[in-house]
Amino acid sequence: MAARTKNPDKELELLDHLGELRSRLIRVILYLVIGAGMAWWFFDPLYKFLLAPAVQSLPKSSQGLLMTGFMQAFTLKMQVALVGGAVLVGPLITTELWMFVAPALTRQERKAIWFVAPLSVVLFASGVALCYYAMPRAFGWFVSLVPPNVDLRPEASATLVFAVQMYLAFGVMFEMPVVLMFLGKVGIVNSKMMIRLWREATVGIAAIAAIATPSNDAFTMMLMAVPMVVLYFFSIGLVKMVED
């Protein structure tokens, strides 16, 4: 049985790709460290911004958020630094990712990326902004459930984690047009199918909004559901653009 011959050119090409990937990962980690350091330095305004919806929703009788241990102050500051740092250096991380995958793309695919990348940023930021607007009402609903004669003192770190999770949830869900555009490109969905199933999609979006929103009031649910329905119809046009 003949021995398999190795292709030294392919091995060298693979090593080059791995070396480039390692270099870019090192730069990404460096960006995150620098961004976290900057966010640590500007902790006070970032902390006030991230937790403003929760603090504003507390009853007037409340003394504010609570910390139950000495280490929690450090943990909270690290959490804010990591979240704020990742947001600050997000464009640099995206650039590193783009420069790594760009050589493997065709000219037409590169042109598509120039459109999709800014659209993704705008959609994600829109979702986060909408969540920030809705969060005071959501926190207010939670406050309304507190029994009489009970002093509400939410734990600061847990409140921050919950708020960031909600911001990310809204931001990711607003990426629906980009996801559907990709599915249309690979042939899993098409514009005709999306038009035919728009009623089912609307019901599905309403169900997702009911599950994802932290409160049960109609205002918060509609605040997520209505823009997502609009984005669904916007996605039909995007899918039609990339159909073969």
pLDDT digits (tens, 9 = 90+) for 74-131: 888 888 888 888 878 877 887 777 777 767 667 766 666 677 778 888 888 888 888 8
Q: Considering only 48-52, 103-107, 122-126, 157-161, which range has the smallest mean pLDDT?
A: 103-107
In this predicted structure, the answer to whether residue 156 has a pLDDT above a threshold of 80 is yes
Q: Considering only 34-43, 60-69, 172-181, which range has the smallest mean pLDDT?
A: 60-69
Model confidence, pTM: 0.75
**Secondary structure (3-state) at 216:** coil
85 exposed, middle or buried (CB, 10 Å; 0-12, 13-18, 19+)?
A: buried
User: Other CB atoms closer than 10 Å to residue 241's CB: what's the count?
Assistant: 13
pLDDT attached to residue 30: 93
- Cα–Cα nearest to 81, from 123, 32, 118: 32
pLDDT attached to residue 1: 45
User: Other CB atoms closer than 10 Å to residue 176's CB: what's the count?
Assistant: 19
pLDDT attached to residue 8: 58
Q: Are 58 and 64 in contact (CB under 8 A)?
A: yes
Higher-confidence position of 227 and 219: 227
Helices (H) and strands (E) in the chain, counts: 10, 0
Retrieve residue 106's tokens: 């065709």
Average pLDDT rounded to a whole number, residues 59-64: 71
